[in-house]
Structures are given as C-alpha cells and as structure tokens.
Amino acid sequence: MISLHGIERSFLVGDETVHALRGVDLDIAAGEYVSIMGPSGSGKSTLLNVVGLLDRPDGGRYELDGRDVTGLAEDDLARVRREKMGFVFQFFHLVSRLSAAQNIELPMMLAGIDPLERQRRLQQLLADYGLEDRARHRPDQLSGGQCQRVAIARAMSMKPAVILADEPTGNLDRHTGQEVMAVLERVHQSGGSLVLVTHDPEIGSRAKRRLRMRDGAIVGDERG
Amino acid sequence: MRATDLLDFAWQVLRGNRGRTLLILLALAIGVAAVVAVTSLGEGARLYVLNQFGSLGSHLVIVLPGRSETAGAMPGVLVGKTPRDLTLDDALALKSSHAVRRIAPLVVGAGDVHVGSRVRETPVLGSVADLMAIRNMELAQGAFLPEADPRRMLPVCVIGSKVAFELFANQPALGEWLRIGDRRFRVVGIMAHQGESLGFNTDEIVIVPLAAAQALFNTEALFRVLVEAKSREQIETAKRDVEEILRARHEGERDVTVITQDAVLATFDRILGALTLAVGGIAAISLAVAGILVMNVMLIAVTQRRREIGLLKALGATGRQIRLMFFTEATMLALAGSALGLAAGQATTHLALQLYPDIPFQAPWWALIAAPAVAAAASILFTVAPARRAAQLDPVQALSRR
Ligand SMILES: Nc1ncnc2c1ncn2[C@@H]1O[C@H](COP(=O)(O)OP(=O)(O)OP(=O)(O)O)[C@@H](O)[C@H]1O
Ligand SMILES: [Mg+2]
C-alpha cells in the first residue's frame, strides 16, 4: 500500500546540510503493524512525516495505493491526509478551547461530513474509547491518558487506512502508556495499518514488524 | 467544510479569546460610531441652516447696496468710491416689475428702548407691513405695522416676546408706550416666539415703521430690500428686473448686489455637505486604524495558534480552509463591531438631539452605509496577509515542540 523508493530529505541548518533521510526504501502492506526505533536524531519522525504526507521528500518516489503522490499540490496532499491518514502525537495536540467531542469531530468537520452522520460516528467513537462521560470536558480537564484517547479517537474518525503515531506514550507514565498502546492496537486489529515510532523497546517489540533506523537510513527490518 | 461549521469554529475562537475579541470590537465600534456621530453633527448643521433660510420666506430676492463682485477687477480702483445708497424710492420702483409681488425695505440699527425707568438696548428694524408676509412672521398678540405710506412716521411698534418680557415683565404690553431715543411708540403687536432666523432673533428686536427708523438713525440709506417674487419660476425674472430697474435709476451703474434665496441656499448646502463629507472622511481614518489593529491582532493570532493551524493542516485542512477560517473570524468581528458602532453613533446623535433640540442632528444615509462597509472592508482587507501566512504554515514546523 505504501511504497517508498530512495527517499531523501535534508535540512539546511546554518550553512550545513543535515541529511535526515538518506535513500530510504520501504514498503508497508495494508493492515501491517510496524514499529520504528532508533537513536535520537536518526530520522524516525522525519520518515513518519513523509509517510503521512506532512512533509515532502527532496528526492525519491512515494506511491500510495499505487498512485504517485510525490508531486501532488499542497491542497491535494491535504485531501489525501484527510481521507487516509490518522496522526497521533506525543503531545496530543488537542485544541484547548474545544471540548473532547469537538476535538474528535475536527477532521469530519474539515471533510464537510453531514452533521447527522458526524453525530452518529462521534457517539460510536466516544463509546469505543470509553469517553462518553468526558465528551463535554475540555483537554485541561482530562488526564494525559484521556487526552491521548481523544487524540486516537480523532485520528480514527475518518476511518483512515494508516495510523501514524510518533511516540504516543512518550508523555505518559508506564501504566497509562500500556493502556494507550492497547487502544492503539485495537485500532490495528480492526484492519488499519499502524506505524509507531517509540523509544521504549518493550513497546517497540510488541509490533509484528520492527524497523531500526540510524543516521537517516533503515538498518534493521525484523518480522515475526 | 460547511458554512455553519465555519461560523461555529470562528465563534469558538472569538469566545475563547475574549480580551482580544473585545479589543477589536471596541476599535471597530469607535471608528464606526465616530463616523456616524460626526456626520450626523455635520448633517444637522446643514439641515439647520437650510431650515433657517426656509423660514426667511419663500421666493425671496435680496437686494444689498454695493457690488460684492471682485472677480478680475483691480481692487484698488474701486476703493474710495462709496457705492450709491439704496433709497426708499429705489425700493418702491421695484414694484413696477410684473414678477414682484411684495417688497420690504429694511433699515437696521441699535437703540436704547425705555419703558419707565427700564432701559434695554435692542436691534431696531425699520420696515413696512409687507415684511410680515415676506418673512413668514407670526404674531402672538395684536397686529403688525399698519398698511400705510412708508414715508409716514406712525408712532407704533411691534416687539419681540423677549423684549416684551424684559421691558414689561408680566404686565400687558399691548397698547403701552415705549421710547426709543427721543421718539415714542405705542406697542401694537407682539411677535410669537420664533427664535433665530438668519442673523435676527425675532424674539429680541423692535420693529418700527421705516420712516421712523430712518429718522431715528438719521439715514436715508436702506440696509436691504427684500423682494418676494410671484412664484418660484419668476425668481430669476424678478432678479433680472430688479437689476435692470436699479441700473436705470443709478445712471447705468451696477452698484447693488442681488442674491436669490436659492443661490444662497445652494451655496450653503454645498459647503456644509462638503464639510460633512470631509469630517466623515477624517473620522473614517479611525476605521483604517481599527483595520490595522485587526491585522496586528490576527498576525499575533497566527503566531499564537501555530500549533492549532499545523494540527488542522495535519488533519486535512487545505490552505483555502485555513484562510476562510480567518476571514470568517474577521467578518464576524467587523459585523459585530459595526453593529455596536452604529448603535453607539445613533445613541450619540440622540443625546445631541436632547441637548440641542433646535438642530436636526441625523446621520446621513450614506454614512450609515459607508461606515460599516469601510469597517468590514478594512478588517477583511487587513486579514489577507495574516490569513495567507497562516495558510502557508508548514505543519511539521508548526507542530514541532520548538
Ligand atoms: N525542521 C528541521 N530543521 C532542521 N533540522 C531538522 C528539522 N527536522 C529534523 N531535523 C534534523 O533531522 C534529523 C532527524 O530528525 P528527526 O526529528 O527525524 O529525528 P528523530 O529520530 O525523530 O529523533 P527523536 O527521537 O529525538 O525524535 C535530526 O538531525 C534533526 O536535527
Ligand atoms: Mg522524533
């Protein structure tokens, strides 16, 4: 489903060029559960952003469902993101003035989904993620674990083909982290792909496929 | 994205940043209110002057001694050559025009009016019976000057309501005698309260027969001759006739100025209209200032809401959607600010009306349209740059923890 060929991404820092990704080749099939581990600065987040179409590679080819998305215009990229990608971030990134329910609704609102359908899906998501009694609460009235559950529900609201999670447990204690992982894995079990960046070997080892990165390149790819 | 969602989202933003929202609303409202209030003052002044001229009388042609034309001529040549006086005979001669209905020659001076031991200095107007009709005067009591030969010095007078009160207090004034200089006059009429009418406050004057005033002030010269044309259409004919008759009587010299009420009205109308427009324009500058404030606040909002904008983009918002969000916000602010400003402006106008009931303060229609339109245009225009900047934000950068 996802197919990267020779992806390059470099940043200009001062007058030095930092190669965040060096010729990355990667194929991810539909429904796969992949974890990405590696030292800090090895390019994990950059890779995830490229896969999620948040960032454009400087070189190489990216095919999504057989379609070349490397050269798509900004607004087309936005539409593909909306339809196919779900993001979960380390810092949750909830809009603080909106309630949990309104945060979950955001992608559906941007996609212009009919309010009735939206309401139906919202109720389902609140039930699925155990947030029914928190729907009207604002993020500052929720615990970290609840915030991340809201973020996951939001990522799932458009029924994306891929969930991209960048250190989703990085800001949670061990116990809450385990809970959030269980929720994320449920998402994966319902048929979507899950790509997870983590520093925690215990969490990383739960994935069926485990990538290892160093200096902008994939140096390990274990399965099973 | 649906329009209702867009409105709802903007509403949440405005509600979530109350201080900022109130600040912008205040700036916009002050701008709109200033335009409305200032133009309604100007318009009030314009209408006031027009009304004053209207109360002067209808179809009026005014004759002044002396030529007030300076165009092109060397001014020095004219200096030292006193214009010929305008006399009663001149005035009476004007009646020969078919376009003229009535005339009222005027002599004006100030005199000490005595009643018993009381003295009051008032303007004294010498004229004839027709003055009342020409100037639409109204009497509270008694009669106006009698119809008589203007050369006769009848010892009668008509006094203003304030003069009557000051000289006679609450005693009946009608039929009483008063003295101006060394002449005695019997009060035959008291004018109704009319207030100011182009320079004269009819409440404060004493009107005596023309010949009596000429004797009092020891002059043959008339101050003005008021001429009433037979109809509106005949005003121009009357003016031409007046000029011809007087030129013939003054040995071919055009040494009088003849103005028509219409011309004076039109001039005042133009001047005050332009003035209103000008002060309205100056007040509109405050709207531009409000617009710049909107821009600054929006630019700050882009910085403050980097993460949110980045997040929205990650969730699939297109650049167009982000821009629309900002414009919706600006439009809502502009509309609410304008509404507040219009209300405040009208309240100010209302207050001015309470304080000065004589002046018809009212905002001109164009100001009521232009002020909110400029407010909306300014705040939307000044949102273009911030909205574009927001739409171009790189989501990865915006979401990074730096
Ligand atoms: N916007 C940027 N500007 C400049 N350099 C960047 C930028 N983003 C990433 N980099 C550089 O690219 C390299 C890879 O960064 P990336 O964030 O992908 O690392 P990471 O593996 O996610 O690290 P961490 O585990 O600390 O999150 C790093 O050297 C980083 O400094
Ligand atoms: Mg990272």
Query: What is the tens place of the pLDDT at every residue in B353-401?
Result: 898 888 888 888 888 898 888 888 888 888 888 889 888 888 888 888 6
Q: What is the mean pLDDT of residues B54-64?
A: 74
A219 in contact with chain B, both atoms CB, cutoff 8 A: no
pLDDT higher than threshold 60 for residue B79 = no
In terms of domains, do B247 and B118 share one?
A: yes
What pLDDT was estimated at residue B55? 60
What pLDDT was estimated at residue B282? 82
Domain ranges of chain A: 33-46+81-223
In terms of domains, do B47 and B167 share one?
A: no
pLDDT higher than threshold 50 for residue B163 = yes
Give residue B54's pLDDT band: very low, low, confident or very high (50, 70, 90).
Answer: low
Ligand nearest to the CA of A42: 1
CA nearest to A22, candidates A214, A216, A213: A216
Contact A82 B316 (CB under 8 A): yes
Is B222 among the domain residues?
yes
Give residue B169's pLDDT band: very low, low, confident or very high (50, 70, 90).
Answer: confident
Last residue of a domain, one of B226, B254, B282: B254
Last residue of a domain, one of B223, B254, B285: B254
Is B28 among the domain residues?
yes
In the predicted model, residues of chain A with pLDDT beneath 50 are none
Q: Which two tokens stand for residue B253?
A: 């010299």
Q: Is B72 left (phi over 0), alpha (psi -120 to 50) or beta?
A: left
| B55 to B136, B158, B200, B236, B284: CA distances (angstroms) | 7, 19, 12, 20, 34
What pLDDT was estimated at residue B83? 67
**CB B26, CB B289: distance < 8 Å:** no
Residue to test with chain A: of B308, B309, B315, B322, most A Cβ within 10 A: B315
What pLDDT was estimated at residue B42? 86
- Of B29-43, B179-193, B277-291, minimum mean pLDDT range: B277-291
**CB A122, CB A86: distance < 8 Å:** no
pTM: 0.71
pLDDT higher than threshold 50 for residue B71 = no
Rounded-to-integer distance, Cα B159 and Cα B168, Å: 11
pLDDT higher than threshold 70 for residue B68 = no
Give residue B261's pLDDT band: very low, low, confident or very high (50, 70, 90).
Answer: confident
Is B38 among the domain residues?
yes
What pLDDT was estimated at residue B57? 58
In terms of domains, do B298 and B207 share one?
A: no
Rounded-to-integer distance, Cα B349 and Cα B340, Å: 14
What pLDDT was estimated at residue B198? 52
In terms of domains, do B46 and B107 share one?
A: no
Residue numbers of the domain that contains B342: 3-52+266-399
In terms of domains, do B143 and B242 share one?
A: yes
- Tell me how close the Cα of B389 comes to any Cα of chain A, in angstroms: 14
Higher-scoring residue by pLDDT: B1, A180: A180
Ligand nearest to the CA of A12: 1
- What does the mean pLDDT of chain B come to? 86
Chain A from 160 to 199: CB within 8 A of any B CB: none
pLDDT higher than threshold 70 for residue B333 = yes
Tell how strand A209-214 and strand A217-223 pair up.
antiparallel
Does the beta carbon of A42 lie inside 6 Å of ligand 1? yes
In terms of domains, do B94 and B237 share one?
A: yes
pLDDT higher than threshold 50 for residue B173 = yes
Q: pLDDT tens digit string along A147-171?
A: 999 999 999 999 999 999 999 999 8
Contact B314 A82 (CB under 8 A): no
A158 in contact with chain B, both atoms CB, cutoff 8 A: yes
In terms of domains, do B141 and B97 share one?
A: yes
Q: pLDDT tens digit string along A29-65?
A: 999 999 999 999 999 999 999 999 999 999 999 999 9
Q: What is the mean pLDDT of residues B325-339?
A: 91
pLDDT higher than threshold 70 for residue B402 = no
DSSP H or E segment with residue B322? helix B319-355
> Which of A74, A87, A98 lies nearest to residue B314, judging by beta carbons?
A87
Share of chain B above pLDDT 70, in %: 93
Tokens 């008694």 label which residue? B142
Is B260 among the domain residues?
no
What pLDDT was estimated at residue A150? 95
- What does the mean pLDDT of chain A come to? 93
Does domain A33-46+81-223 fall into CATH 2.40.160.40? no
Chain A residues within 8 A of B15 when measuring between CB atoms? 97
In terms of domains, do B157 and B291 share one?
A: no
Last residue of a domain, one of B214, B230, B254: B254
Is B155 among the domain residues?
yes
In terms of domains, do B247 and B271 share one?
A: no
Q: Which stretch, B130-134, B289-293, B300-304, has highest mean pLDDT?
A: B130-134
In terms of domains, do B108 and B230 share one?
A: yes
In terms of domains, do B203 and B118 share one?
A: yes
How many structural domains compose chain B? 2
Which CB contacts under 8 angstroms, 24+ apart, belong to A190-193? A191/A31, A192/A31, A192/A86, A192/A160, A192/A161, A192/A162, A192/A163, A193/A1, A193/A2, A193/A28, A193/A29, A193/A30, A193/A31, A193/A32, A193/A33, A193/A34, A193/A161, A193/A162, A193/A163
In terms of domains, do B213 and B126 share one?
A: yes
What pLDDT was estimated at residue B70? 45
